[in-house]
Each structure stands twice: as C-alpha cells, then as structure tokens.
Amino acid sequence: MELRIINTFLKVAQLQSFSKAADSLGYSQSAITVQIQQLENELGVRLFDRIGKNVTITHYGQAFIPYAREVLSAVSRAANFAVEEKDLSGSLRIGTIESVIATRFTEVLSEFHRRCPKVKTEIHTGGTKDLLDMLQHNELDLIYTLDESGYEPQLVKLFETPAEIVVMAGHQHPLAGRQDLKLKDVINEEFILMPQTSNYRHLFDAELAKQKLEVHPFLELDGTDMALRLLEQNPYLTVLPLYAAERQVEAGTIVVLPLSDCHMEQTLQLVHHKDKVITPQIKVMAEVIAQSAGAEIQAEME
C-alpha cells in the first residue's frame, strides 16, 4: 500500500471526482483510476461507486478515511520528529533535590536545551515530601528525587535506580583507610549532616536508632558542595548519597568509610502524577534524565 495512493484516495474522497483529483495532484485521470483500482484490490472492497460520470464514496470508502489519515499523519510525525523537538516551545517544571542538582543536572539541562531550545525550564529544589506535594497540586510536571522504593497509586514511576547512602570523610581523616569499622566507632566524630527533612538524613537517623546510638552534628547544611569542601579540608564526617561525591572519591580526596553493620540504600526515582497530560516536552526531559542515569523508562508515557 503506497503512500501516494492513500493520498490520492483522500483527494478523490474530498473532491468526489476523479478528474478534479487528477487536476489537483498533477496526474492524468487514467492514473487516478489505476491507483484507486489498485487500492481497492489490496483492500478487497469498492471504495467508490462509479455510475456514469458521477463518483460517490461507498460505506467502505467512508470507513477507510480515518485509517488513511492516520497513516499519513504517522508518516509525517516520523519524518519530522527531530525537527519537532527543536520547534517545541512553552515551559517545563521539574522538581529535584539539592544533591541531584549539584551533581547530576548540568549535563541534563544542557542536553535538554540542545534538543528543545525554545522551551523554558523551571527548576524547583526541596525535600522529597515538599516536591511530592507540589506534584499532587500540579505545580510540577516531573520530580526526580531520592526516596525509599515503594508504590503510590497516584504516581507513575518512570524509572528508579539504586543509590547507596554512605558515611564519608576526607582522605586525611584518622579513620580513612580503616577496614574494621562499625557504626559505633564513628558516632563520636565531628559530623556535618543535612537537615532532618532530607530523606537520607532520616535513613541515617533510623539506622542509629535501631542500634541505640546517637550522633550530634556540629553543623547542619543544605548544600552538598559545601559539605564536601569542608571534608576535604578538615577531619569531619558526613552522610551523603555516594553519587554526590563520585568525582571526589575517584580523585581520592574523599573516602567512603566501610561500616560493616550499616548498609543504607534508597532509589533515585523519576515520577509524574498519573493524571498528568504528558506533553512532548515532558517526554524529552524524561528521556534525557533516563539517559543520564543509565536507566530505561519502564512506564508508558501517554
């Protein structure tokens, strides 16, 4: 079934005339007749009644019109999908947590802008609870956050990837290099911690409570970069997702303390509300974030 023949069918159906369709498309009338006959043979039904000089679309022809239009529309979208991204406009609102913004969003935002240069992107940072509340009130289109893995009926989870939560120190810290550490061995050290609204701070506090231990941080920060810089220059400890310090760990300026009795893990999750209308802009952003995270989108984006 050739596209040009489908286009010819729609033109004949519109004009109710082989000759007028021929003039409009630049074909001879005989060519139009041959194309319609070929389409009718392929479908096995008559699409037009030809009585004298009159042409009238049949019931089968009328029923075939939406299919013909759908085929041409799909081909047009496929042919122009790369151009369509660049032509997208409007805005996109995404919420995430500070550690993701600080370490993972530079390449995401750059790639999204390259693909959708006319779209205005709004970034909102906050705790996971606040971001979820904004999503529920349609104040955000997507959230990319760190949380416990679970199911929430109002939300669609596009993907999730594991994120290890670790206790870390600067390479000069007296505990750096120790392999026989337990949680009780570090509780009296000087800690910098994120606020208690942070999900991974809450996870650490729960682990301490489970072992009937306490940590009293001398400083609470809401900034990953500042905490890491302080660790690099001072004998302090902190608790962060490992991804937040990947560059420093690779460079050897930050070390992860291997606590044998304290394993903490959450998941990085990309989420939208189940009732959200998914625009092309949202789809592109989801694809870019998934690619950056090395993940595949697991849910249908309708």
Same domain, yes or no: 93 and 136: yes
Domain containing residue 68: 3-79
Same domain, yes or no: 187 and 123: no
In a domain, 302, yes or no: no
Tell me the pLDDT of the chain (302 aa) as tens digits. 788 999 999 999 989 889 899 998 899 999 999 999 999 999 999 999 988 778 899 999 999 999 998 888 788 767 655 555 677 888 999 999 988 988 888 899 999 999 999 999 999 998 888 999 999 889 999 999 998 887 788 899 999 999 999 999 999 999 998 999 999 999 999 999 998 888 899 999 999 999 999 999 999 998 899 999 999 999 999 999 999 999 999 999 999 999 999 999 999 999 999 888 888 899 999 999 999 988 888 877 76
Same domain, yes or no: 149 and 287: yes
Same domain, yes or no: 201 and 190: yes
Contact between 16 and 56 under an 8 Å Cβ cutoff? The reply is yes
Same domain, yes or no: 52 and 42: yes
In a domain, 125, yes or no: yes
Instruction: Select from 79, 112, 133 the last residue of a domain.
Output: 79
Q: Tell me which DSSP letter residue 185 carries.
A: G
Instruction: Select from 79, 101, 134 the last residue of a domain.
Output: 79
Whole-number Å distance between alpha carbons of 18 and 12? 6
Same domain, yes or no: 157 and 275: yes
Q: Which of 190, 178, 180, 293 is nearest to 239 (CA)?
A: 190
What pLDDT, on a 0 to 100 scale, did the predictor assign at position 231? 95
SS3 state at 56: strand
Q: Which residue has the tokens 């990309």?
A: 270
In a domain, 90, yes or no: yes
In a domain, 144, yes or no: yes
Whole-number Å distance between alpha carbons of 52 and 66? 27
Same domain, yes or no: 59 and 74: yes
Same domain, yes or no: 134 and 172: no
Q: Which residues pair with 268 in a beta bridge?
A: 146, 161
In a domain, 48, yes or no: yes
Same domain, yes or no: 153 and 180: no
**Both tokens assigned to 103:** 């370490």
Q: Which of 246, 203, 205 is nearest to 228 (CA)?
A: 246
Same domain, yes or no: 246 and 279: no
In a domain, 149, yes or no: yes
Q: Print the SS3 string covering 228-245.
A: HHHHHHCCCEEEEEHHHH
Same domain, yes or no: 75 and 202: no
CA 228 vs. chain centroid, Å, equals 28
What is the CATH classification number for the domain harbouring 68? 1.10.10.10
In a domain, 124, yes or no: yes
In a domain, 299, yes or no: no
What is the CATH classification number for the domain harbouring 151? 3.40.190.10
Whole-number Å distance between alpha carbons of 24 and 81? 28
What is the CATH classification number for the domain harbouring 193? 3.40.190.290
**What string of DSSP letters covers 75-115?**
HHHHHTHHHHHHH--SEEEEEE-HHHHHHHHHHHHHHHHHH
**Both tokens assigned to 281:** 């802009």
Same domain, yes or no: 235 and 284: no
Q: Which residues pair with 265 in a beta bridge?
A: 164
* Number of structural domains in the chain: 3
Whole-number Å distance between alpha carbons of 210 and 66? 63
Instruction: Select from 58, 79, 100 the last residue of a domain.
Output: 79
Whole-number Å distance between alpha carbons of 58 and 60? 5
